[in-house]
Structure 1
Amino acid sequence: MPRSRRFRARAQKARGATLYVTLEPCAHHGKTPPCAEAAVAAGVRRVVIGIEDPDRRVAGQGIALLRDASIRVDAGLFADEARWVTLGHILRVTERRPFVQLKMALRTDGTVPRGRQGQALFVTGAEARAQSHMLRAEADAILIGGATARDDDPELTCRLPGLGSRSPVRVVLSRSLDLAPDLKLMRTARDVPVWVVTGGDADAGRVRALEEAGVRVLRPAGGERPAMKDALASLAGEGVTRLLVEGGAGVWRAFAAERLVDEVVLFQAGVAERGLRDTTALAGAHAPGLDLARVTTRRAGPDLITVFRTATADRST
């Protein structure tokens, strides 16, 4: 069936219905036609909206278009929850950066595991690792530092059954570009995208070698040593709205130092039977300077997973 006929068939089913959305339907032409116009064409009777879209191309125009078509619009329902769900989009259009989720995985004693000679060190169990892979599936991009790429030789893909296609863009921060061609990331760059973020003084020969391997090299504004916020602006410009930062510890501290973290997910190995320690202090020790508020703690086999939100995220919502 032609696409236009399929749309008309579906629109007929929506006639007279109520449409519920977290974010105001857009009113501008981008990769797709305006969503607000589609709602009008479908003949919906009412639209319930969580929050208005702060994108200046929308910013109330979608609501106005709907009301001009005599569609009832109710805005502000569960606004706080809607802001959190759409925070990546909000930050991209207001602060030129994605939502940043920092993932920590710690040993039972609270220290950071580190691989050696290209062999990753896994400290959590299968249940926690599955949750970690779900975080990857929910992200647009996943980021590590060059040292982690060399020490652990990670693949950084989502390996949950049925979700392999949801693997995020893999991003490496590396000023030196000292990334061997036999690393898993380099060998699979043509299968799942790999971007390397570097400085303006990057060695031209190494840049060329990476690009020949299928890696995309990004050089954010900011000179030879761009700030983390410049790197995030570069990713946001590529359409990344949700970034999962996996490490290592130096990368965690760098993001924390510039107050560029919205959520921390702390994986603690083998502590489920012991009960909670002061998890806020533990997370803060590895990402100093963040104002963290614990949201949830749940068990994953022998491990614990604790989620924190930061004061930065609260101000954004």
Structure 2
Amino acid sequence: MSKKNVSHTKWMKRAIFLASLGKNTTSPNPKVGAVILDKNGNLISEGFHFKAGMPHAEAMAFRNLKKDAKGGSMYVNLEPCCHQGKTPPCVDKVISSGIRKVYVSIQDPDKRVSGKGIKLLKEAGIRVHLGLCKKESLELNKAFIHRNITKKSFGVLKWAMSIDGRIGLKNGKSKWITSEQSRSIVHSFRAEFDAIIIGGNTLRKDNPLLTTRGSKNPEPLRVVFTKSLDLPSKSSLWDCNKAKTIVIYDSSTANESYLKRIPKCVEVEKIPSDNPELISKLLAKRGCNKILWECGPRLATAAIQTNCIQEIITFIAPKILGGENSMNPFGDFDFREMDEIIKLSNSQVSLIGNDICVKNSFEN
């Protein structure tokens, strides 16, 4: 790699690092960082997008300018926007600044932009280079990209199990399989998500709080999916001072007389069937880029079958629960041949005390 290419990579990686500083706060927007060099290749400004409604990365970089950018270069990990949203289009500012070269890592999947921003820059006489550090940029904004392309939220399924693959005893008791250290990590890990989903049975059995315990403000949206609406009148999730809660129910099977049990502060939405894809699409429309499924076996199985899950996080405790009738993480996929089974890839393994955490992606 030439010295010039090393320099370009260096500055794009800097833009990607800056973008990552908005890790848990930018939804429904992407994570974007921008770096501006003067005509001699010296750093004169940088910025990143922190939160929806606040200035975009390019706008922040122009705000932070130490000297005139005319004749200089910009590095940005996502194509500059060209539409008026809560903030003005960034392309206009780039063009008016006199910058002559723009290095863009990946094209914006949002149809309002998607190549149009690059086209406007080129038409203004700016040299645009596309594709630098593409792999890193795709990884950073994979949830935003997935939501824009599929119109569904990027789904991560998380569960804890014993070393013999059980998530609870046959009587339903499951507290606690993993260690306190693992559970604490899960609380902070939830801060990466815009919403957390459980089923009605998990609410009735466990009465979870589903918060980050203060790691994120506001807390992720808490989502309960129910086929019956037969939910308890008292629940930790009904305390809307801690976090917002929404109940989504299947209107084809639910007894709507139970709606009176749900406090007024809790939002209620109905969908026409129990297809998890409808939940994912509903949350995507609300701007949720990334959602965490912490549900039981039945809903987890259905979510996988409808392609609502892109990654899996498994916490494994060195404990044996035993018993043929003990609870499994999934229901029956009804596979008949080994070539039908679900294959996972990109295994990442870490130790948390005596527990093991395994992260996997679904094979494409």
Secondary structure of the structure 2 residue equivalent to 1:247: coil
TM-score (norm 1): 0.80
Assess, with a 3 A threshold, how the Cα gap between structure 1 residues 58 and 125 changes in structure 2: closer, same or farther.
same
Is the 1:256–1:290 contact (alpha carbons within 8 Å) kept by the matching residues of 2?
no
1:208 CA displacement: 4.6
Which residue does the alignment assign to 1:86?
Answer: 141
TM-score (norm 2): 0.70
Assess, with a 3 A threshold, how the Cα gap between structure 1 residues 181 and 208 changes in structure 2: closer, same or farther.
closer
Q: Give me the whole-angstrom Cα distance separating, in 1, the residues matched to 2:156 and 2:346.
A: 14
Matched, 1:13 2:66: yes
Identity among equivalent pairs (%): 31
Is the 1:49–1:77 contact (alpha carbons within 8 Å) kept by the matching residues of 2?
yes
Secondary structure of the structure 1 residue equivalent to 2:65: helix
List structure 1 runs of 4+ shifted beyond 6 angstroms.
6-9, 114-117, 283-287
> RCO greater where, 1 or 2, for CA within 8 Å and sep 6 or more?
1
Is the 1:114–1:121 contact (alpha carbons within 8 Å) kept by the matching residues of 2?
no
Aligned pair count reads 290
Which residue does the alignment assign to 2:314?
Answer: 266
Is the 1:46–1:73 contact (alpha carbons within 8 Å) kept by the matching residues of 2?
yes
Matched, 1:24 2:79: yes
Q: Give me the whole-angstrom Cα distance separating, in 2, the residues matched to 1:284 and 1:116.
A: 15
Larger radius of gyration: 2
Q: Give me the whole-angstrom Cα distance separating, in 2, the residues matched to 1:287 and 1:261.
A: 17
Picking from 103, 118, 143, the partner of 2:197 is 143
1:205 CA displacement: 3.4
Matched, 1:214 2:269: no
Is the 1:36–1:66 contact (alpha carbons within 8 Å) kept by the matching residues of 2?
yes
Secondary structure of the structure 2 residue equivalent to 1:179: coil
Q: Give me the whole-angstrom Cα distance separating, in 1, the residues matched to 2:128 and 2:344.
A: 36
Greater share of helix residues, 1 or 2?
1
Matched, 1:192 2:243: yes
Q: Which runs of 5+ in 1 are unaligned?
A: 272-282
Matched, 1:129 2:129: no
Greater shift after overlay, 142-151 or 128-137?
Answer: 128-137
Alignment of 1:1-317 (within 5 A): 10-13=63-66, 15-16=68-69, 18-40=73-95, 44=99, 46-113=101-168, 121-159=175-213, 163-186=215-238, 188-201=239-252, 202-210=254-262, 212-220=263-271, 223=272, 225-270=273-318, 289-311=341-363, 314=364
Assess, with a 3 A threshold, how the Cα gap between structure 1 residues 176 and 33 changes in structure 2: closer, same or farther.
same
Greater shift after overlay, 11-20 or 149-158?
Answer: 11-20
1:214 CA displacement: 1.0
Is the 2:106–2:134 contact (alpha carbons within 8 Å) kept by the matching residues of 1?
yes
Q: Which runs of 5+ in 2 are unaligned?
A: 1-53, 320-327, 334-340
Greater shift after overlay, 107-116 or 69-78?
Answer: 107-116
Assess, with a 3 A threshold, how the Cα gap between structure 1 residues 110 and 193 changes in structure 2: closer, same or farther.
same
Q: Give me the whole-angstrom Cα distance separating, in 2, the residues matched to 1:238 and 1:70.
A: 38
1:59 CA displacement: 1.2
Assess, with a 3 A threshold, how the Cα gap between structure 1 residues 148 and 115 changes in structure 2: closer, same or farther.
farther
Q: Give me the whole-angstrom Cα distance separating, in 2, the residues matched to 1:164 and 1:56.
A: 30
Q: Give me the whole-angstrom Cα distance separating, in 2, the residues matched to 1:48 and 1:291.
A: 37
